[in-house]
Amino acid sequence: MENSASKVLIVDDMPINCMILSSLLATNGVSSDQAGSGMECLELCEKNDYDLILLDHLMPELDGVDTFVKLKEIFEKKGRTVPVVCHTTEQGRSNINLYKAAGFADVLIKPIDLQQLSAVLMTYLPEEDKITNEEEKKLSENEAEVSESSEPGDVKEELLKLPIWLKTVPHIDLALGITNCESAEDYMDALYVFYSSIEEKAEEISSAFNNEDWTMYTLRVHSLKSMASLVGAKKLSEAARTLESAAREADHATVREYTQSLLTSYRDFMELLSPIEDEARTLNKESEKKEEKRNEQERPDNSKTVLFIRSKNSIVVTGIENNLEKAGFKVINIPDEPDVIISRRFDADLILYLPNISDGSHIGLTMNLLGEICQDDSKILCLTGDVPDIDLAMESSGAYRVAKCYPRPVEITQFINDMKEFSHMESEYHRKKTLFVVDDDPDYLSVIKRWLSEDYNVSGFSCGKDLLTGLSTAMPDLILLDYEMPEMDGYDLMKNVRENEETKEIPIIFLTGKNDRDHVYRILGFKPDGYLLKTSRKEALLDAIGRFFTEYVFKGLTEND
């Protein structure tokens, strides 16, 4: 079932539960957002539209039922009806009728298995999404698949940028490839990686087949399945998927019957895609120019700049401003006016707001605006002023983004020390991070490195041994780790990293094609910092990594507090 248009919101205060549900949803082709509290759920539903909400019952502060009551108010204002499914523990099974009486569409009992979740998706997701597979089968295998009526505008625009010769190549779904890679340029990049490794990878599959090395055969066919899917070679990917499954189940008769036809189909792409050699030279030159331009437009360091928002200038404002400047901060003093705040939002990473109760109605408006700005741009927000003013500000929906409050009289030494710490955290957040990516598939490793290198310093490693050697010389900000690798799989490698005193604090996110329930639970048992699927599109992958680093900053804020 491919529900590409559907979006589900997962609400659970336990991150591990969110990861499990997210993975199970991805197995059904459904994208999701996650909220860690009832309040965050409400904020996301105010801003976004979801087709289904999976809502935990037992949460601190605002539990599932209270959250559901407020959700119904939001849906009523929007004129929408959204099914909300309660997920609860085994102890809640006896209360199923009560949950349904309260208005929940359905109830899921934890631990939630794939069959249980699939039944809910089939029941409550929009009908038009449930027939996507049937519609897909009707599409042909060339540019005719991308008719004027069937593709989003941005995909059609990117298709126009592809070279003419490529649009005559059979057995390639160009629209799917561009959707996966986000742009024509990135798609051509991935397609070149796919093309340039055909001879080597086909030989590896052939060698493993002839030697009856079924472990290596499975790994190499799995790798081909992933890359073929990425570039839109659907028939090749499905053939590889069938043989991977047969090899895992020791169905060697099927493997022997169909491997040669797989290799023939695979090698046919060498001739079909040969004109890409010339395209690659042009792409390399354009990439070099873009890299030079990015270096010239490096982001200014605003971590030592404070955007100080106040209703009017006063002795209090002047005193705080003077102390900040003495401590080495640049202070931008602006009035509490939405237009002014928006125009200066990019000038500082730290925001200090001094609310004034004499204009109480304005406080809520400003706080909501600041909450959105700080969430979107990963800024740190602090409040100062009289206690009644701060209390009123903290009643607004933007209060969840407040790092710390400094009621008058402000203890200046602590205030300045905190601002220095916040400045350091912002500087660290905006510093170009270093990622170590571990994957035994050189093709996928090459594509991921290209995707990530615009925003991060990326080093790739083809096996666990190479990663451990790399960690002896440098410490990354994050490790992206494949699960299925020869010699040392991702689980054993993660254990090795976590059990070493020098490397145990390095965050690890699994980036893997394994999304069945047993593997998910095994991986999550060692508490990784995230779990992403290789089928994730470029934009989704970058967004997930960006959100991880944003959350890391605010985890530090909580610990600091």
Describe the crossing of helices 114-124 and 15-27 by its angle, rounded to 10 degrees: 70
Indicate if 162 and 127 belong to the same structural domain. no
Quick one: what percent of the chain has pLDDT higher than 90?
Answer: 32
Q: Which whole number is the average pLDDT over 100-109?
A: 78
Q: Which whole number is the average pLDDT over 419-432?
A: 83
Q: Residue 399: how many CB atoms within 10 A of its CB?
A: 19
Beta bridge partners of 310: 335, 354
* 249-287 pLDDT per residue, tens: 999 999 999 999 999 999 999 999 999 987 766 655 555
State which of 430, 453, 487 marks the end of a domain.
430
| The 7-11 sheet, strands edge to edge | 31-35, 7-11, 52-56, 84-88, 106-109
Residue 461 counted as domain residue? yes
Cβ–Cβ under 8 Å, residues 398 and 351 = no
Indicate if 451 and 527 belong to the same structural domain. yes
Please count the structural domains in the chain: 4
Question: What does residue 208 show for φ and ψ, rounded to 5 degrees?
Answer: -65, -40
Residue 241 counted as domain residue? yes
Cβ–Cβ under 8 Å, residues 98 and 73 = no
Ranked by mean pLDDT, the top range of 12-16, 268-272, 398-402, 490-494 is 268-272
Residue 552 counted as domain residue? yes
Indicate if 204 and 275 belong to the same structural domain. yes
Indicate if 180 and 272 belong to the same structural domain. yes
Query: Can you read off the two tokens belonging to residue 423?
Result: 């400045």
Indicate if 165 and 98 belong to the same structural domain. no
- Of 255 and 379, the structure prediction assigns the larger pLDDT to 255
Separation between Cα atoms, residue 297 and residue 424, nearest integer Å:
22
Residue 460 counted as domain residue? yes
Domain containing residue 488: CATH number:
3.40.50.2300
What mean pLDDT value characterizes the chain? 81
Q: Which whole number is the average pLDDT over 429-452?
A: 87
Residue with tokens 């190549």: 169
Indicate if 282 and 420 belong to the same structural domain. no
Residue 128 counted as domain residue? yes
| Displacement of CA 57 from its chain's centroid (Å) | 25
Q: Which whole number is the average pLDDT over 124-133?
A: 53
User: Which residue range forms the structural domain that includes residue 219?
Assistant: 139-298
Residue 263 counted as domain residue? yes
Quick one: what percent of the chain has pLDDT higher than 70?
Answer: 81
Indicate if 388 and 507 belong to the same structural domain. no
Indicate if 341 and 459 belong to the same structural domain. no
Separation between Cα atoms, residue 98 and residue 77, nearest integer Å:
26
> pTM to 2 decimals?
0.57
Say what the pLDDT of residue 116 is.
73
Say what the pLDDT of residue 6 is.
74
- Of 551 and 510, the structure prediction assigns the larger pLDDT to 510
338-355 as b/e: b if 16+ CB within 10 A: eeebeeebeebbbbbbbb
Indicate if 331 and 451 belong to the same structural domain. no
Indicate if 143 and 283 belong to the same structural domain. yes
State which of 275, 298, 321 marks the end of a domain.
298
Residues 6+ apart with CB under 8 A from 386: 357, 407, 408
Indicate if 362 and 267 belong to the same structural domain. no
Indicate if 108 and 186 belong to the same structural domain. no
Q: Which whole number is the average pLDDT over 417-442?
A: 87
Residue 2 counted as domain residue? no
HSE, side-chain direction, 13 A CA sphere, residue 28: 25
* 176-192 pLDDT per residue, tens: 899 888 888 888 888 98
Say what the pLDDT of residue 149 is.
35
